[in-house]
Amino acid sequence: MIILLALSATATAAACTGAATPPSPLTVSVPAYSTARSADIKLDMRGGDLKVTGAGVELVSGTLAYARPDVKPEISRGTHESTAGVVQTAVLKQPGGASAMPVATVAWKLQLGGGLPTDLSVSKGTGDLDLDLALVDAKNLSVGAGTGRLSVELGGPHPGLSHVSLTNSSGDTTVDASGEYPALEAFSVRSTSAAVQLDMSGTWGKSFTGSVVTQSGAIKLVLPNKVNVRVVVSDASRQVTADGLSQEGTTWSYRPPTPSPYMLTLNVTSASGAVNLSVKK
């Protein structure tokens, strides 16, 4: 009797507040096409938490939890030709404008796989974003996030990764780039108002110039110890601490004990926050 009364009270409260049971999560199952030579995946989520890992067997799999029918995710797939062969495409999109603002029951959990070299583009509104891409054969990674924490894991070998662009408007940004990157040509991290922690202690197979920018927040960089490093800190960044690098003006440099033909150059700006530089021990 007590249980029945409790259930009845809950149901009455839900009816009074207009609360409704969320729909069942949408299941995602996009197998990799045997004819495809690469993939182009786009994730567009207006609000809620998004978690992506590379533990999948299919190109894209997982669940998309949503709160109301008007924000039911849309899934589209297809192919197009490129000079390198057939490109398989997958687009997962959360529709709506202001009506798609996050609630506690909105969460996407996805696994990427299929063994195809992949371009991944993520557009994110409010909510946390976790990308564990250590097992993904990523070629190009582009992330535009709104309000929330951003975590990107790029450890492990990434033989084809060439471009990384990460933007987070408001929320701490953490990036692990401690893997192997023989083809990387461009790397940028931009944050409007939060701390940026970036581990770039990986193995680099090219010289390139990258940038790390935050308007308001501290920047912490861990740098590689097997290539030449040059960090140029803008005049707006007043507080700089460096371990293992030599300073000349607003430039901090490192030369490895064993000469390397490669130079990693980073342009760093923190308008109102400390900058901490260290070389991997």
Cα torsion 61, 66, 71, 77 to 10°: value is 10
Among 66, 57, 131, smallest CA distance to 93 is for 66
Q: Tell whether 53 is covered by a domain.
A: no
Residue 19's SS3 state is coil
Residue 151's SS3 state is strand
**Predicted local distance difference test score (pLDDT) of residue 57:** 95
Please say if the pLDDT value at position 155 is more than 50.
yes
| Arithmetic mean of pLDDT, 140-164 | 96
Among 216, 235, 230, 234, smallest CA distance to 279 is for 230
Q: How many residues does the chain have?
A: 281
Q: Residue 52 and residue 194: Cα distance in Å, rounded?
A: 22
Cα torsion 11, 15, 19, 21 to 10°: value is 50
Q: Tell whether 180 is covered by a domain.
A: yes
- From start to end of 171-227, where are the E strands? 173-176, 180-181, 186-191, 196-199, 203-204, 208-214, 219-223
What does the pLDDT look like over 107-138, one tens digit per residue? Answer: 999 999 999 999 999 999 889 999 999 999 99
Q: Residue 87 and residue 41: Cα distance in Å, rounded?
A: 10
Q: Tell whether 20 is covered by a domain.
A: no
* Cα separation values, 174 from 16, 71, 222, 276, Å: 42, 29, 12, 14
Phi (first) and psi of residue 12, to 5 degrees: -65, -40
Q: Tell whether 95 is covered by a domain.
A: no
Please say if the pLDDT value at position 3 is more than 70.
no
| Arithmetic mean of pLDDT, 152-162 | 96
What does the pLDDT look like over 209-260, one tens digit per residue? Answer: 999 999 888 999 999 999 999 999 986 556 899 999 999 999 999 999 999 9
Which tops the pLDDT comparison, 105 or 225?
225
CB 256 within 8 A of CB 228: yes
Q: Tell whether 9 is covered by a domain.
A: no
Total structural domains within the chain? 1
Q: Tell whether 90 is covered by a domain.
A: no
**Predicted local distance difference test score (pLDDT) of residue 104:** 60
Question: CA geometry: angle at 63 spanning 62 and 65, to 5°?
Answer: 160
Which residues sit opposite 157 in a β-bridge?
Answer: 180
Domain that holds residue 254: 149-281
Q: Tell whether 85 is covered by a domain.
A: no
The confidence band for 46, taking pLDDT boundaries of 50, 70 and 90, is confident
Q: Residue 272 and residue 267: Cα distance in Å, rounded?
A: 16
Q: Tell whether 59 is covered by a domain.
A: no
Tokens for 189?
């991290």
